[in-house]
Amino acid sequence: MQMMWKRRPVWPPGPPIPPIQPRKPVRILAVSDEESKFIWEHFDPELFRGVDLILSCGDLKASYLSYLVTMIPAPLLYVYGNHDGAYDRNPPLGCQCIDGAVTEFQGIRIAGLGGCMGDDPANPYQFTEEKMEKRVRKLQSDLRRSRKLDILVTHAPAAGVGDTSAFHQGFRCFHQLYRDNVPTLHLFGHLHRQNHHGPEARQGVFQVGATRAVNCTGYRLIEL
Ligand SMILES: [Fe+2]
């Protein structure tokens, strides 16, 4: 007997799926450590037109950060440097602290960890390697399901990535974030760029695997 195969029902074609649009690049102004005279005293709106987001890596006057959000129509997210204790009494107005937190901006996931290496009990923005490692683990648990990070904002660098003396030493535990969360950008400050050894390092841009680490002392304009 001949077998009769049933035809599978043909589902009507659905509406066409629109192609996934590539994300519009986000223009970032990153600042750290030195209030730029060029910005503060000779502000040129043309240069900063189109800036979508301002990120501060710390050790800047609160009034400078408030000035930036007044002059540039973009949100400003910041972490503490080791000299920013005054923010507690006089926080940067119109700015958002992301120290120890994960946030999103236009689909970009950003995490912040302020402070530098040290163990001065009078300075709440100095951390030993062990204390910073705890903060890294807490941040990683907050990232939960989607562990990919687009931008890591810290004050101190990662160990071996443009760090120098004992006080300007980077944190080994930041490499844990490089490895597990693969940030596309790591923005940091704390060191003046001229303190990096060698002309190449003085550019303040370091590639660690898929992560580009950028010393933002002064200011940097970056597209992501
Ligand atoms: Fe610093």
Query: Got the DSSP string for 127-176?
Result: E-HHHHHHHHHHHHHHHTT----SEEEESS-BTTSS--SSTTPPBTTHHH
How high is the pLDDT of residue 144? Answer: 76
* Residues with Cβ within 8 Å of residue 213, at least 6 apart in sequence: 157, 158, 161, 162, 185, 186, 188, 205, 206, 207
Q: Is the pLDDT of residue 164 over 70?
A: yes
Q: What is the mean pLDDT of residues 80-89?
A: 92
Tokens of 119: 């163990």
Whole-number Å distance, alpha carbon 82 to ligand 1 midpoint, is 5
Q: CB of 208 within 8 A of CB of 178?
A: yes
Whole-number Å distance, alpha carbon 50 to ligand 1 midpoint, is 29
Range in 44-48, 57-61, 207-211 the model is least confident about? 44-48
Q: Is 1 helix (H, G, I), strand (E, B) or coil?
A: coil
Element housing 221 (H / E): strand 218-223
Range in 50-64, 138-152, 196-210 the model is least confident about? 196-210
Whole-number Å distance, alpha carbon 182 to ligand 1 midpoint, is 24
Whole-number Å distance, alpha carbon 198 to ligand 1 midpoint, is 21
Q: CB of 85 within 8 A of CB of 123?
A: yes
Tokens of 49: 């037109």
Whole-number Å distance, alpha carbon 1 to ligand 1 midpoint, is 86
Q: Is the pLDDT of residue 18 over 80?
A: no
Range in 111-115, 117-121, 128-132 the model is least confident about? 117-121
Rounded distance between C-alpha atoms, residue 36 and residue 104, angstroms = 27
Residue list, CB under 5 A from ion ligand 1: 59, 81-82, 190
Which of the four pLDDT bands, split at 50, 70 and 90, describes residue 23? confident
Strands 151-154, 185-188: pairing is: parallel
Residue with tokens 């530098």: 116
Rounded to 5°, angle at Cα 156 from 150 and 159: 90
How high is the pLDDT of residue 198? Answer: 65
How high is the pLDDT of residue 21? Answer: 74
Which of the four pLDDT bands, split at 50, 70 and 90, describes residue 201? low
How high is the pLDDT of residue 196? Answer: 63
- Range list of H helices, the chain: 37-40, 62-71, 129-143, 174-181
CATH number of 27-223: 3.60.21.10
Q: CB of 150 within 8 A of CB of 108?
A: yes
Whole-number Å distance, alpha carbon 118 to ligand 1 midpoint, is 11
Q: What is the mean pLDDT of residues 31-60?
A: 94
For all residues of the chain together, what is the average pLDDT? 90
Whole-number Å distance, alpha carbon 4 to ligand 1 midpoint, is 79
End-to-end CA separation in angstroms for the chain: 67
Whole-number Å distance, alpha carbon 162 to ligand 1 midpoint, is 14
Q: Hey, how many other C-beta atoms are within 10 angstroms of the C-beta on 33?
A: 22
Q: Hey, how many other C-beta atoms are within 10 angstroms of the C-beta on 25?
A: 11
Q: What is the mean pLDDT of residues 156-181?
A: 91
Whole-number Å distance, alpha carbon 217 to ligand 1 midpoint, is 10
